[in-house]
Copies of this chain bind each other. A is one copy, B any other.
Amino acid sequence: MIIDIHGHYTTEPQALHTFRDKQLAGLADSARKPGSADLGITDETLVKSVEPQLKFQKERGGDLTIFSPRAGGMAHHVGTEAVSLEWTRICNDLIHRICTLLPDSFVGVGQLPQSPGVSPKNCIPELERIVKELGFVGVNLNPDPSGGYWTDPPLIDKWWYSLYEKLCELDVPAMIHVSSSCNPNFHHTGAHYINGDTTAFMQLIQGNLFKDFPALRFVIPHGGGAVPYHWGRYRGLAQDMKRPLLKDHLLKNVFFDTCVYHLPGIELLSKVIPVDNILFASEMVGAVKGIDPETGHHYDDTKRYVDQLRLSEKDRLKIFEGNARRVYPRLDKLLAKRGHGNRK
Q: Which residues of A are interface residues toward B (Cβ below 8 A)?
A: 143-144, 148-150, 152-154, 183-187, 189-191, 194-195, 198-199, 202-203, 205-206, 222-223, 225-226, 228-237, 239-240, 260-262, 264-265, 267-268, 271-272, 287-290, 292, 294, 299-300
Q: Is the CB–CB distance between A299 and B235 below 8 Å?
A: yes
Contact partners of A234 in chain B: CB under 8 A = 190
Asked whether, in the complex, the Cβ of A229 is within 8 Å of the Cβ of B190, the reply is no
A76 CB to nearest chain B CB (Å): 15
Residues of B within 8 A of A267 (CB): 268
Q: Are A184 and B299 in contact (CB under 8 A)?
A: no
- Distance between Cα atoms of A91 and B300 in the complex (Å): 46
Closest chain B residue, CB of each to CB of A268: B268
Work out how many copies of this chain go into the complex. Answer: 2
**Contact: B198 with A185, CB < 8 Å?**
no
Could you say which of B144, B153, B190, B265 contacts A232, with CB atoms under 8 Å apart?
B265
CA distance A18 to B249 in the complex (A): 37
Contact call A203/B231, Cβ cutoff below 8 A:
no
On chain B, the residues within 8 Å of A271 by CB distance are: 264
Report A41 CB to chain B, min CB distance, Å.
27
Chain B residues whose C-beta falls within 8 Å of the C-beta of A237 in the assembled complex: 187, 189-190, 287-288
- Cα of A154 to Cα of B181 in the assembled complex, Å: 13
Are A199 and B195 in contact (CB-based, < 8 A)?
A: yes
